[in-house]
């Protein structure tokens, strides 16, 4: 009888502790889901900016707005933070270097200076 009671008590404790840990996993999944949505939305915006920069009919003022304001803002405030949290192998420094490389390509191609 003691063995049955002990076994029942042990099983109950295991089940209860297992149930307590599920909300933590659920919160993590929700957090990852929100980060993934943030990353995907930022990635989509950046893709649209790059499409505009690659389109020959995009006006120079629009190009300057994208290169100097819109793209860096989305990249630094939304894209990079989400990517770093989702994939910690990426660092802020590496992502900043990648951004500068891409932005400099468009600045040189379109002869745009963001300091003016």
Q: Are 60 and 113 in contact (CB under 8 A)?
A: no
Give residue 64's pLDDT.
97
Tell me the pLDDT of the chain (116 aa) as tens digits.
444 434 434 444 444 444 444 444 444 566 788 999 999 999 999 999 999 999 999 999 999 999 999 999 999 999 999 999 999 999 999 999 999 999 999 999 999 999 86
| SS3 label, residue 104 | helix
Give residue 116's pLDDT.
61
Asked whether the CA dihedral 99, 100, 105, 110 is positive or negative, the reply is: positive
Give residue 115's pLDDT.
85
Give residue 37's pLDDT.
95
Give residue 32's pLDDT.
80
Give residue 85's pLDDT.
94
* pTM confidence score: 0.72
- Which residue, among 90, 86, 95, 87, has the nearest Cα to 34 in the 3D structure? 86
């Amino acid at each position: 009888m003691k063995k049955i009671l002990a076994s029942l008590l042990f099983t109950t404790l295991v089940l209860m502790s297992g149930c307590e840990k599920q909300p933590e996993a659920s919160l993590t999944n929700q957090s990852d889901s929100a980060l993934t949505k943030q990353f995907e939305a930022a990635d989509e915006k950046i893709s649209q900016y790059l499409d505009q920069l690659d389109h020959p009919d995009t006006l120079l003022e629009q190009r300057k707005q994208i290169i100097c304001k819109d793209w860096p803002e989305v990249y630094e405030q939304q894209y990079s933070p989400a990517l770093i949290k989702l994939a910690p192998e990426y660092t802020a420094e590496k992502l900043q270097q990648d951004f500068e490389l891409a932005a400099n390509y468009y600045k040189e191609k379109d002869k745009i200076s963001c300091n003016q």
